[in-house]
């Protein structure tokens, strides 16, 4: 079955995560994604090795599976000419360089839309295309720090800490993909392409919309997570067990009495402070302190069984090694076992999106640097002699 984006061609000029992951999602959805990389160097993600002795890259593999790699040096006139010919036949161009870089190379929105009025030109930056920081470079940590996310992590009194994944990049990539898909829908109505721009900073603000809205409404900064969430005053947080941790994702009113009895604290079911959803922070601190030693009496698995029977929402706090043992993750395709063209099996992160009519299909591997240069240029009509000459000139 064809994917939802079957017939759509994307030129991915991105680096690391923000741009490439957006393009990877489109590849999973059936688009033909051509990865444009600097000859001899490639995407910087290729150089984030697993170890000193293992040159594979988890970053490159996860953000570039299923693409075709073409090496082009956009700093050369000949390279720009090749890229423009590709862009003339493409639907989407995705990049995430410092603001103004693509324009300086002569492949900005105005340059390419003059050749292809239907082109979607999409760019991700660190701090957005406007304002005093527009020309500053940045990476995931910049988005987490400047956007306020780091200020919410951990407990009061502890040093600030970033989230242990490239969350600003990931959120920005999803925003970039959403903008591109919306622009494709608009183009189907109007026939015109457009510019789509997102940023690490903007993605972090959007991801914390409720918390920023709370600040605007009250003038109060929500503060640290403190094992839960600063704005959610119910039983919403994580507790230490005899062998790990477990998350309690709220206790519905109909399960409250049963829950407190199971926690050997039946008197709490009659306590007026915990009958609704508006308990004070001080009251919740008391409740958490009361329940903390109780949770330590059983293992995480034992609490999972108990809470499941009660109908209380919960989740064990797991690391990656524990999560991959969950059969539901594989059943839903969030993780998959796929074979490449050589028959080698790979365990890969699948898609978070399921579509019944146009299935999302991740690929087993990412391309080698320049693996498809000759093929793609031949599709454009370049002869073997011209391709060889471009290589000698350093344009590809």
Q: What is the pLDDT of residue 264?
A: 87
Q: What is the pLDDT of residue 177?
A: 98
CA angle in degrees (0–180, nearest 5) for 258-264-268: 70
Q: What is the pLDDT of residue 1?
A: 83
Q: What is the pLDDT of residue 71?
A: 98
Return the half-sphere exposure (C-beta side, CA atoms, 13 A cut-off) of residue 172: 35
What's CA 371's distance to the chain center, in Å?
26
Residues 6+ apart with CB under 8 A from 376: 34, 68, 70, 86
Residues 178 and 300 in one domain: no
Residues 199 and 241 in one domain: no
Residues 285 and 385 in one domain: no
Q: What is the pLDDT of residue 254?
A: 82
Task: Please identify, among 302, 317, 332, the residue that sits at the C-terminal boundary of a domain.
Answer: 317
Tell whether 387 is covered by a domain. Answer: yes
Question: What is the rounded radius of gyration, in angstroms, for the C-alpha atoms of the chain?
Answer: 25
Residues 250 and 197 in one domain: no
Task: Please identify, among 253, 284, 317, the residue that sits at the C-terminal boundary of a domain.
Answer: 317
Residues 181 and 311 in one domain: no
What burial class does residue 150 get, using C-beta atoms within 10 Å of its C-beta: 0-12 exposed, 13-18 middle, 19+ buried? Answer: middle
Q: Are 247 and 315 in contact (CB under 8 A)?
A: yes
Tell whether 56 is covered by a domain. Answer: yes
Domain span at residue 308 reads 236-317
Report strand pairing: 236-240 vs 245-249: antiparallel
What's CA 360's distance to the chain center, in Å?
16
Tell whether 189 is covered by a domain. Answer: yes
Distance CA 251, CA 5 (A): 42
- Taking the chain (396 residues) in consecutive chunks of 10 residues, what is each chunk's mean pLDDT? 95 98 98 98 97 96 97 97 98 97 97 98 97 96 98 95 97 98 98 98 98 97 93 90 96 86 88 76 88 96 93 94 97 96 95 96 96 97 97 96
Local structure of residue 239 (DSSP, 8 states): E
Among 54, 169, 331, 340, the one annotated catalytic: 169
Q: What is the 3-state secondary structure (H, E, C) of 200-217?
A: HHHHHHHHCHHHHHHHHH
User: Residue 94 maps to which CATH number?
Assistant: 3.40.50.10540
Residues 188 and 72 in one domain: yes
Tell whether 330 is covered by a domain. Answer: no
Tell whether 322 is covered by a domain. Answer: no
Residues 189 and 100 in one domain: yes
Q: 96-109 burial, b if ≥16 CB within 10 A, otherwise e? A: bbebebbeebebbb
Residues 17 and 108 in one domain: yes
Tell whether 347 is covered by a domain. Answer: no
Task: Please identify, among 294, 317, 340, the residue that sits at the C-terminal boundary of a domain.
Answer: 317
Compute how many other C-beta atoms are within 10 angstroms of the C-beta atom of residue 295: 19
Residue 237: strand, helix, or coil: strand
- Helices 167-190 and 200-207, packing angle to 10 deg: 100
Q: Model pTM?
A: 0.94
The yes-or-no answer on residue 271 being catalytic is no
User: Residue 264 maps to which CATH number?
Assistant: 3.30.1540.10
Q: What is the pLDDT of residue 277?
A: 61
Tally the domains of the chain.
2
Distance CA 127, CA 147 (A): 9
Residues 47 and 117 in one domain: yes
Residue 183: strand, helix, or coil: helix
Residues 104 and 166 in one domain: yes
Q: What is the pLDDT of residue 219?
A: 97
Residues 187 and 243 in one domain: no
Tell whether 217 is covered by a domain. Answer: no
Residues 309 and 389 in one domain: no
Tell whether 339 is covered by a domain. Answer: no
Q: What is the pLDDT of residue 310?
A: 86
């Amino acid at each position: 079955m064809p994917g939802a984006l079957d017939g759509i061609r994307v030129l991915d000029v991105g680096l690391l995560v923000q741009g490439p992951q957006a393009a990877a999602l489109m590849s999973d959805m059936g688009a033909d994604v051509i990865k444009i990389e600097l000859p001899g160097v490639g995407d910087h993600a290729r150089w984030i090795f697993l170890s000193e002795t293992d040159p594979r890259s988890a970053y490159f593999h996860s953000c570039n599976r299923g693409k075709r790699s073409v090496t082009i040096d956009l700093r050369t006139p000949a390279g720009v000419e090749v890229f423009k010919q590709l862009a003339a036949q493409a639907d989407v161009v995705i990049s995430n360089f410092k603001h103004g870089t693509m324009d300086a190379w002569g492949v900005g929105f105005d340059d390419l839309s003059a050749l292809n009025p239907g082109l979607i030109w999409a760019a991700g930056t660190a701090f957005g295309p406007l304002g005093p920081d527009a020309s500053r470079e940045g990476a995931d940590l910049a988005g987490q720090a400047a956007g306020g996310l780091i200020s919410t992590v951990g407990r009061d009194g502890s040093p600030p800490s970033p989230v242990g994944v490239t969350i600003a990049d990931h959120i920005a990539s999803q925003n970039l993909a959403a903008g591109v898909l919306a622009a494709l829908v608009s183009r189907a109505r109007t026939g015109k392409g457009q510019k789509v721009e997102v940023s690490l900073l903007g993605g972090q603000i959007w991801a914390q919309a409720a918390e920023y809205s709370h600040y605007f409404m009250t003038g109060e900064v929500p503060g640290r997570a403190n094992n839960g969430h600063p704005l959610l005053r119910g039983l919403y947080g994580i507790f230490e067990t005899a062998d790990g941790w477990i998350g309690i994702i709220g206790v519905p009113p109909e399960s409250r009495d049963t829950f407190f009895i199971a926690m050997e604290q039946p008197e709490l079911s009659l306590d007026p402070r915990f009958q609704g959803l508006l308990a004070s922070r001080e009251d919740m601190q008391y409740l958490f302190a009361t329940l903390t030693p109780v949770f330590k009496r059983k293992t995480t698995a034992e609490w999972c069984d108990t809470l499941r029977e009660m109908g209380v929402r919960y989740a064990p706090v797991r690391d990656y090694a524990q999560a991959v043992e969950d059969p539901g993750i594989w059943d839903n395709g969030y993780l998959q076992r796929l074979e490449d063209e050589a028959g080698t099996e790979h365990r890969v992160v699948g898609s978070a999106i399921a579509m019944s009519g146009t299935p999302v299909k991740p690929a087993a591997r990412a391309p080698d640097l320049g693996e498809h240069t000759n093929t793609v240029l031949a599709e454009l009509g370049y002869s073997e002699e011209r391709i060889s000459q471009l290589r000698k000139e350093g344009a590809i």
